Amino acid sequence: MKTGRRTVAAAAFVAALGLSVLNAPTAQAADTGIIVSDLVINDNGKSIVVGTTKRVYPTFTFNLTLPAGYSTADPFRYDVFVYLYHGDLKGKAVKDGENIIPPSGTTCYERDAKHARCEGELFIDPHPTKYSVDSNSDATTWKTAIGLTLFTRDDQLKTHETETRPYTVQLKRAARTTTNATPEPVSKGKKVTVTGKVTRANWSTKKYDAYSGRTVSLQFRAKGAKTYKTLKKATSNGTGNLKTTVTAGVDGYYRWVYYGNSTTGSATSTADYVDVR
């Protein structure tokens, strides 16, 4: 059975976080008795890759156990907020909504009166007016926290607590690669020049910048084949450009593949077909 739950937009979450975590009286910062277990974020901690315009919604799931006096039949008396953060959880950045990746909403499915299986999505918007990824230094390891809240029957705050978990997720800047193989067509045994470029997202400017000094693999798939094979590797120059030559043998597709690193995601270019005659 699906339980109706509060869903929270990013702005609302940050406002609630600042109020209940940073400004709540000490007497309210007590153990709620809510138990969150088996938390999984973005396919067991898979890296989250973000570009310059597209919103990203990493998923999460967890099991929920409610304390005495609370039931899954009354979902408006409790809330669970799963979110990512880096830096000081109690710092000014949290209050201002920076360095936080909030949830866009959570839905729970009742198992019985005290237990539920919950799922939801985090919310990352690289738009310049947002805060989560407004600096390239945000491409780092993010930690996990859970906000747990109980409400009275008249919808007033009863108590709130924040739990941190030893669960981390790597946030990475998106990369792009391009490929151009010439001449087209080409005579068998002649040289094919394959150029391209590797760039990555700049979260400060919201543009893709040249990514120099990267080792990128040139791959080839013969016409009719199902898999690509790496022919050679090249290093991007100061403007992110790539260039190498290969000998034409059979018709097929060329592409550049960058495998990423600790701060940058992987990228595979659109393949360029060359006809060999």
Assign residue 110 the CATH number of its domain. Answer: 2.70.50
Residues in the chain: 277
For position 10, what pLDDT does the model report? 42
The enclosing domain of 261 has a CATH number of 2.60.40.730
Q: What is the pTM of this model?
A: 0.87
245 and 146 in a single domain? The answer is no
Amino acid identity, residue 137? S
166 and 181 in a single domain? The answer is no
42 and 117 in a single domain? The answer is yes
Q: What does residue 10 show for φ and ψ, rounded to 5 degrees?
A: -60, -50
Of the chain, the end-to-end C-alpha distance in Å amounts to 64
Range of the domain at 117: 2-172
Residue 19: pLDDT band (50, 70, 90) is very low
* Counted domains in the chain: 2
46-50, 85-89, 181-185, 257-261: which has the minimum mean pLDDT?
A: 85-89
Interval 112-141: pLDDT, tens: 999 999 999 999 999 887 777 889 999 999
For position 87, what pLDDT does the model report? 82
* Inter-residue contact 148 to 43 (CB < 8 Å): no
127 and 200 in a single domain? The answer is no
**SS3 for 17?**
helix
181 and 164 in a single domain? The answer is no
Amino acid identity, residue 124? I
155 and 190 in a single domain? The answer is no
Q: What mean pLDDT value characterizes the chain?
A: 89
135 and 184 in a single domain? The answer is no
Give CA–CA dist 173/133, Å, rounded: 9
Residue 12: pLDDT band (50, 70, 90) is very low
Q: Which residue has the higher pLDDT, 60 or 95?
A: 60
* Inter-residue contact 191 to 246 (CB < 8 Å): yes
For position 170, what pLDDT does the model report? 97
Where is the domain boundary, 172, 203, 226?
A: 172
106 and 194 in a single domain? The answer is no
Give CA–CA dist 205/56, Å, rounded: 18
141 and 246 in a single domain? The answer is no
Where is the domain boundary, 156, 172, 188?
A: 172
For position 94, what pLDDT does the model report? 61
For position 218, what pLDDT does the model report? 98
109 and 192 in a single domain? The answer is no
Q: Which of 180, 179, 172 is nearest to 141 (CA)?
A: 172
How buried is residue 31: exposed, middle or buried, by Cβ count under 10 Å (0-12/13-18/19+)?
A: exposed
For position 89, what pLDDT does the model report? 75
- Tell me the average pLDDT across 145-165: 93
Interval 37-74: pLDDT, tens: 999 999 998 999 999 999 999 999 999 999 999 999 99
